[in-house]
Amino acid sequence: MLVFLIHGVATQDAGYGDQFKRKVKENLSKKNVESPIFFSSFWGHTFKSKTDQLFNWVRANVKDLSDKCRELNNCGNDIYRYQEALEDFIAKFFGDFLTYLNVDKGVAIRKQILSQFQDFIDNHPEDKEITIVSHSLGTLVLWDLLFAKDLPENDPANEFRKFFNSNGLKLSGLVTMGSPLLFMRLKQSIDFSAVDDFVEKSNEALTWLNIIHASDLIAYPLGNAIKHDKANNFLFTNQFL
């Protein structure tokens, strides 16, 4: 069994999944169950320089005004308040989110994940079953890779789906954590009946676990939206923490 991880926003460390993997292995060991083989995909470093550049410009603008007016010297926080909080919010959440929604950058991120997925599968040819675990923005990346219907033919997502249509690889499970997919229906076409279409093409059973933390502002339960879209060819569960 293989497990492929896709991270969300504000992830700058390729070892982000280490604690998760350790906990899973510990729990399985107590039950005398063999641990799966994990791979943590990583794209978080791709466009970080863009958000750094943005706030370099902001700081430069504040400094320019401060230099022009003596009475404003060393008053940068009064000229433009909450700079650190804004930078933290943009860098840790909003920046990555907007970056992925940019058409070209979204393609670049999916291309990176496709390449990493290809290497992972090639390195374990004997394993024919995989679960994909995604978090936060990573759940939207996962949706695009597997189910989005409005992507062009040359999008990396179409190559990603071929693994499950012709390579004999079984997608046995999806785990989404802190997912904004319900919210993203306001912006793009997310129709959960697309999961039924995927299951029909792959001719394999699929289980989807969606985990929601009670205090997570962007995590949404998906069960009733799935019912609304008349998607019923897979086993879906919401898990509240």
Asked whether 7 and 16 are in contact (CB, 8 A), the reply is yes
- DSSP 8-state assignment for residue 146: H
* 16-45: average pLDDT: 94
pLDDT in tens, 137-176: 999 999 999 999 989 999 999 999 999 976 689 999 999 9
End-to-end CA distance of the chain: 26
* 86-108: average pLDDT: 82
Whose tokens are 């401060």? That residue is: 66
Cα 77 from Cα 95, distance rounded (Å): 22
* 188-204: average pLDDT: 90
**pLDDT confidence bin for 76, thresholds 50/70/90:** low
**pLDDT confidence bin for 71, thresholds 50/70/90:** low
Number of helices (H) and strands (E) in the chain: give both, helices first.
11, 6
Q: What percentage of the chain reaches a pLDDT higher than 70?
A: 90
Q: pTM of the entire structure?
A: 0.88
* Partners of 132 in the β-ladder: 4, 174
Q: Is the pLDDT of residue 57 over 70?
A: yes
CATH numbers and ranges of domains, the chain = 2-47+95-240 (3.40.50)
